[in-house]
Amino acid sequence: MAIAPAGVAPDTDVAERAWYLFAVSGAVSLVIGVLVLAYPSPSIKLLGVFLGIDLLIAGVLLIARAMSGGEETRAAEMLLGTLALIAGLIVVRNPARSLELLTLAFAVYLVVAGALALGRGLVHSRQRWSTLARGAVLVAAGTVIISWPEMSVKTLTVLAGIALILQGAMEIAEGFALRSPARHS
């Protein structure tokens, strides 16, 4: 979902060779975001399944990136991938359990992914503005979701859909931006 959702860019050389991981992760988030917005009145169970699948896919891709990435991002990506897998499993395992569980799992993932992206954008100059923008969007979406105590399913659906679409679009753009230097090498 992730949310998507990722938030940490791997080592540049590895990222250029594996640009498609960004594009795949972004496409999954984008498609799920569009589905969530296209059907804004689903049951909490359907919303939970969509968000759980997005978190599971994002977790697997983040762990794959961590295993092939450079030392400086490996720990952050492994942590975020593990968090995404745990949140995804919780949500998929209990999709209709409660709105609070779904909200908390998804929002915590968004905040952590956004914080990691903000940190990455502050430390590294490559793609600084897109990384900072992605981080700000994710932290803002997660913060709004966490701090809204009486959120309805419809409101969560709209916020989750928007966050997933924005995250997906930014990851797809990042993947294709990384593909260009790899093509010219």
Residue 43: pLDDT band with limits 50, 70, 90: low
Which is more confident, 55 or 44? 55
Residue 4: pLDDT band with limits 50, 70, 90: very low
Mean pLDDT of the chain: 77
Write down the pTM of the prediction: 0.64
- The Cα 177–Cα 11 span in angstroms is 14
In tens, the pLDDT along 121-159 reads 888 777 788 788 888 988 998 898 888 767 777 777 787
- Over residues 67-72, mean pLDDT: 70
Per-residue pLDDT at 97 exceeds 80: no
Per-residue pLDDT at 117 exceeds 70: yes
**What share of the chain in percent tops pLDDT 70?**
78
**What share of the chain in percent tops pLDDT 90?**
1
